[in-house]
Amino acid sequence: MGEIDGVRALLTGRPRPVGWPARRARIEEVAAVDAPPADIVFTPTSIGGVAAEWSAAPGVDAARVLLFLHGGGYCSGSIVSHRTMASRAGAAAGMRALALAYRLAPEHPYPAALEDARAALAALLAQGFAPADIAVGGDSAGGGLSLALMVAQRDAGLPLPGCAWLASPWVDLAMTGASMDAKDGVDPLIHRGYLAELSAAYRGGVAADDPRVSPLHADLRGLPPVLVQVGSAETLLDDAVRIAGRLGAADVPVRLEVWPHMIHAWPLWSARLAEGRRALASAGAFLRARGIPEAATTA
């Protein structure tokens, strides 16, 4: 059995949980099944009034930071569930990672998560981090939130991070991508009915195609360089492909990586998945270079 089949078995070995507490417990169980590297140091903190956690691998540049926004459909996911992914991404990028425990729906619908992300970014800037030394990124809903954060910053005339990393991003809460149905039979995690429930819980009274919650429909001009990574076996494949196209059409430097046979948010299982480690290495190189192509940095 291949490595990705082992991850599939981990995810499908038990019935899907019902109810928010059970779902939140389940994502921590399956996503945190592998411990982070032993040499990474973790430090609980608070940033902008929001609980968070620093992670630092040996030798990283403490003057640079990855603000990591976890996935989980805005309704689950946590520092615990994404600790390995966030810390390994920071290590690959040669910077510290700051994982944010933003407020979750349905208890805290939009704009709570966005407000928390904006507060954290403002606090980092107030602490003296240069905008170019801050990267923002995350998986799934965290990818969509990263993009919404940058759009909100730009609209407010506030500093933008130096670059962004969107892994398996959920950017269309109206779920209009063709892959939502075309890939339903091969995606072990994300299905239309489940996403519809998450979308309604997060949006509250906001329309599903409102660009504030679905940045696929936002004006994307003026954003910093973006890396988009997605697996070919994802129902959200079209979210990634379409957002990359719209970023490019808006003259935003963008790189799209489609990883064959990979499932939703596969870098979560990088400890047991070589393609997860390769994806994080690619993301790390992008973040380390601030999204500037290698040829441009050596010219």
Peptide bond into 224 cis (omega under 30): no
Among candidate residues 76, 146, 199, 234, the one labeled active-site is: 234
Whether 282 is a known active-site residue: answer: no
> Which two tokens mark 3?
């490595």
Exactly one of 53, 78, 264, 282 is catalytic; name it.
Answer: 264
Q: Helix 112-126 and helix 141-155: axis angle, to 10°?
A: 60
Annotated active-site residue 140? The verdict is: yes
Name the residue with tokens 């429909």.
217
Known catalytic membership, residue 55: no
User: Among residues 55, 78, 81, 140, which one is catalytic?
Assistant: 140
Enumerate the active-site residues: 140, 234, 264
